[in-house]
Amino acid sequence: MDGVIIIDHPLVQHKLTIMRKKETSTAGFRRLLREISTLLCYEVTRNLEMTSERIETPLTTMDAPVLEGKKLVFASILRAGNGLLEGMLDLVPAARVAHVGLYRDETTLEPVEYYFKAPEQLGNRLVIVVDPMLATANSAILAVERLKQQGASNIRFLCLLAAPEGVQNFRSAHPDVPVYTAAIDSHLNDLGYIVPGLGDAGDRMYGTK
């Protein structure tokens, strides 16, 4: 599908399978999410623009490659987005961070916003929005709208698991924002859960219900 990138690296797929298992513990789930997030981060940043910088090695000078432009912004959709955020910051420690606090109303499946804080000058930066789950996509669509209102114009959305309905809704709402995901599952059930999925990512990460 246009604008959708499946991250099918064997390590990502293996770790995702363990995360899906209902017997995987809270501690195990959290550790795997952190591990997998570094691999997802590697893929979502694969084609960043580069420039060069004149440096001195112990032997000589050279023009060496460095990232071009302003620092990246990672935008975490709370709370489960923080599970991806931590591993991504391990790889890109200088990234700026935006937090978008949303929860899904269980009956309407509409997102309710409770917090928003983003760095200034979003317009000059690549913003990578992270949330493990893209179900109806209502949360992701609102998060991206809020970031665009703050000036963001170069945005990528990164998740672990998506439903086909969510991918379609998201791409219709934000055709300029590519979606990176490790898998697109079968469908959403009547309660808006991804099937086969992995359950509620936030609850599995934090041991809540």
87 binds, among ligand URA, ligand PRP, none (CB under 5 to 8 A by kind): none
Nearer to ligand URA among residue 151 and residue 192 (C-beta): 192
Of 49-88, binders to ligand PRP (CB under 6 A) are: 77-80
Q: Which of residues 142-171 bind ligand PRP (CB under 6 A)?
A: 166
User: Nearest to residue 68, comparing CAs of 55, 52, 56, 92?
Assistant: 52
Q: Is the dihedral of CA 194, 106, 207, 128 positive or negative?
A: positive
Residue in 121, 180, 123 with CA at minimum distance from that of residue 153: 123
Is 164 annotated in a binding site? The answer is no
Distances (CA, A) of 112 to 100, 108, 181, 190: 11, 10, 24, 20
Q: Is 193 in the site for ligand URA (CB under 6 A)?
A: yes
Q: Which of residues 126-155 bind ligand URA (CB under 6 A)?
A: 133, 135
Please identify which residue in 151, 164, 178, 192 interacts with ligand PRP, judged by CB under 6 A. Answer: 192
Q: Is 202 a residue that touches ligand PRP (CB under 6 A)?
A: yes
Question: C-beta of 138: minimal distance to ligand PRP in Å?
Answer: 4
Q: Are 63 and 53 in contact (CB under 8 A)?
A: yes
Q: Is the peptide bond before 79 cis (omega within 30 degrees of 0)?
A: yes
Check if the beta carbon of residue 115 is closer than 8 Å to that of residue 78: yes
Give the whole-angstrom CA distance, residue 21 versus residue 167: 23
Q: CA distances (Å), 53 to each of 57, 82, 102, 124, in order? A: 12, 33, 41, 21
Query: Interface with ligand URA includes 200 (CB under 6 A)?
Result: yes
Catalytic residues: 104, 108, 200, 203
Residue 197 interacting with ligand URA (CB under 6 A): yes
Report the nearest approach of ligand PRP to the CB of residue 61 (Å).
48
Residue 194: beta bridge partners? 188
> What does 83 bind: ligand PRP, ligand URA, none (CB cut-off 5 to 8 Å by kind)?
none
Residues that constitute the known binding site for uracil: 194, 199-201
**Contact residues for ligand PRP (CB under 6 A)?**
77-80, 103-104, 109, 111, 131-140, 166, 192, 200-202
**Contact residues for ligand URA (CB under 6 A)?**
133, 135, 192-194, 197, 200-202
